A and B are shown apart, each in its own frame.
Chain A
Amino acid sequence: MWQFLHKLASPRYFYDITGKWIPWLGGLTVMTLLAGLYYGLLKAPPDYQQGESYRIMFIHVPAAWMSMFIYVLMAFWSGINLIWNIKLADVMTVSSATLGASFTFLALMTGSLWGKPMWGAWWVWDARLTSELILLFLYLGYIALVAAIEDRRTAARAGGVLILVGVVNIPIIHYSVEWWNTLHQGPTVTKLDKPSIHLSMLIPLLIMAVSFKLYYLTVVLMRARAEVLDRERRSAWVRELFGAKLAN
């Protein structure tokens, strides 16, 4: 296992092996997505309170999970990069950022769409939505910082420090916002997280969550491969690879 990870950290090996993985990951993504949507939108029973509109949950909740998950993952890779100086780790961080921001944006959008029938307003300062909004700011700050620094390695390292600072702050921000929310709105009915959920709704939700993870994995690997090629374009193996393709 350790040896495999070590090998994976070499750009060339990474490029080759992930090239083989991506079609499979892509296929699995489509399959789970179709299954999740089918069970979620057609099979699961309507909610006794919310009727059909609750079904947006099958997008909203996995997107919200992904938005957190990717941030934590980026922090993990940044830590590896800053401590052991492994280039592939910063390729993964940089490639993840826009995906994380997109999932956060998706969670916000669907939350807002869901809010309209539930609360009668497109936006309510609900704790979950507010936290998502702040998370979006954190992502956008990271993207802006990385874009502002010219040298890529420097940009990735600086971004890594910011992500690590952010990941320490996320629980604090989350707690503060929850606390603030209970103070100002009283115990609101947060429609977005129900204490218990029926199995017939839980299963599609989990399928969707898996599908979103697979989607992330597929796209992040595609982006990372492009980034690796761009960074290594001077090296012999990249020239060899593309020289050969051009000859064909």
Chain B
Amino acid sequence: MFQAFKALMKRDLLLAFRHRGELANPLLFFFMIVTLFPLGVSPEVTLLRKIAPGVIWIAALLAALFSLENLFRSDFEDGALEQMLLSPQPLSLLVLAKVLAHWLVSGLPMLLLAPLLGLLLAMPEPAIAALELTLAIGTPLLSLIGAIGVALTVGLRRGGVLLTLLIMPLYIPVLIFATNAVTAAAAGMPIAGQIYFLASLLVLALTLAPLAIAAALRISVS
């Protein structure tokens, strides 16, 4: 069972590596959205510092959705998805392997880029640390929740905007708790409560999302 999990994850990582040019795109997207704010709102440091957690997190939400869109797309087009659905292995485990591989190549790099963005928006150090922590828990959550929407829309030609409509409302709790943790950290307040909440959401998503993704794929590919 775990052989299939490992093999599928390895395959997706290998495929990502062979298309490594494309890996930078969501990151650039993430970066650019954040740069728009000082230009569009104001470069004033106190204001930037105030809106920084929200700005970075909203950019992360959009970048996550943007990169997720292709999670099942190529597998759907070349029939590899059908073969996956016809495997006697539990489908929820296989989709978890794919989501995990996807997070490693898209979510993890965002974690590396985020401190730089924090500096650009004049965030204090404790806030940057909190940002990293919330992104570490939050981006896998975004991938898991988003993958449900991707699975539901994979057979549709214009799935992109629809995906956003379906998934954005479900991202709201993550956004609220993550940005609040960062803001609290900047003010020197404890953030354990918010982090525990995010962590419990992650546990919930890890258990339930793969089932929903698997069910959604079976329906979409029928």
Task: List chain A positions with a Cβ less than 8 A from chain B.
Answer: 82, 134, 137-138, 140-141, 144-145, 148-149, 154, 157-158, 161-162, 164-166, 168-169, 172-173, 175-177, 179-180, 183
Interface string of B197-222 (1 = CB under 8 A from A): 00001001000100010011001101
Docked Cα-Cα span, A83 to B103, in Å, equals 31
**Out of A148, A154, A161, A183, which one reaches B180, CB within 8 Å?**
A183
Can you name 8 A-B pairs with beta carbons within 8 Å? A82-B215, A137-B169, A145-B152, A148-B156, A166-B169, A168-B204, A175-B173, A180-B176
For the complex with contacts A145-B152, A157-B219, A173-B170, 10 further pairs of A-B residues with Cβ separation under 8 Å are A141-B169, A144-B162, A158-B152, A162-B152, A164-B212, A165-B148, A166-B170, A168-B204, A169-B173, A179-B176
* Cα–Cα, bound, A161→B170 (Å): 14
Q: Are B156 and A149 in contact (CB under 8 A)?
A: yes
Whole-angstrom CA separation of A177 from B219 in the bound complex: 32
Chain A to chain B: the 4 pairs with minimum beta-carbon distance, closest first: A176-B173, A137-B169, A141-B166, A176-B176
Interface residues as binary, B154-198 with A (CB distance below 8 Å gives 1, 0 otherwise): 011011001001101110110011001000000000000000000
Give complex CA distance A158, B153 in Å.
Answer: 9
**A-binding residues in B (CB < 8 A):** 148, 152-153, 155-156, 158-159, 162, 165-166, 168-170, 172-173, 176-177, 180, 201, 204, 208, 212, 215-216, 219-220, 222
Q: Residues of A contacting B212 with CB < 8 Å?
A: 161, 164-165
Binding site of B, secondary structure by majority: helix, strand, loop or mixed?
helix
A-B pairs with beta carbons under 8 A, tally: 70
CB-based nearest B residue for A169: B170
Our pick among B155, B168, B180, B208 for the contact of A168 (Cβ within 8 Å) is B208
Whole-angstrom CA separation of A148 from B165 in the bound complex? 12
Contact flag A144-B165 (CB < 8 Å), given A161-B215, A164-B212, A165-B170 = yes
> Which chain B residues lie closer than 8 Å to A169 at the CB level?
169-170, 173
State which of B169, B180, B201, B220 has its C-beta within 8 Å of the C-beta of A180.
Answer: B180
Smallest CB–CB gap between A110 and chain B, Å?
Answer: 22
B100 to chain A, nearest CB (A): 20
Q: Within the assembled complex, what's the spacing in Å between the Cα atoms of A137 and B156?
A: 20
Measured CA separation A40–B176 after assembly (Å): 38
A contact residues around B153 at 8 Å (CB): 145, 148
Which has the most chain B C-beta neighbours within 10 Å: A154, A157, A158, A161? Answer: A161
Contact A173 B165 (CB under 8 A): no
Q: Are A172 and B201 in contact (CB under 8 A)?
A: yes
